[in-house]
Amino acid sequence: MSLSKKLIGVIGAVVVVAVTLPGAAIAADGAKVFKKCAACHSTEAGKHKVGPSLAGVVGRKAGTAEGFEKRYKGLKDADWSWDKASLMAYLENPSKFTKAKTGKRSSMGLKLKKEDDRKAVIEYLKAH
């Protein structure tokens, strides 16, 4: 194989890694941050703990985790779906977010104050 073909192959591999690595790295960071959440939540569909399973939460209507509907407090009568913006606001201060949206406080006490932590957890949840 000629040197130019090898060089093109190496450059192609570097481009692929550069494009895919940031998201993978953020999701990996999210797995670490999610350990704070794992005391109350799982990412296994249908496996609820104190809080609902977060499997498939991104894109799902708030307060509708199957098998957990009756236990929601702050998300009762929610009229939005979880997207990046709503998750960013919720994870920063759950009670403030739900109070503004539904008039009820969230029972979730954990606040992720660091923006990078919130972004990482959202990327992690997108993968689950």
Compute the distance between CA of residue 7 and CA of residue 13 in angstroms, rounded to an integer. Answer: 10
Q: How far is CA 99 from CA 7, 27, 51, 53, 96, in A?
A: 57, 29, 18, 22, 5
Number of domains in the chain: 1
Contact 67, 48 (CB under 8 A): yes
**Side-chain-facing half-sphere of 4: CA atoms under 13 Å:** 0
CATH number at residue 69: 1.10.760.10
pLDDT tens across the length of the chain (128 residues): 554 444 344 444 333 333 344 455 566 789 999 999 999 999 999 999 999 999 999 999 999 999 887 777 888 889 999 999 999 999 999 999 999 999 999 989 899 999 999 999 999 999 99
* Those residues with Cβ within 8 angstroms of residue 8's Cβ, 6 or more apart along the chain or in another chain: none
Q: The domain containing residue 30 runs over which residues?
A: 3-126
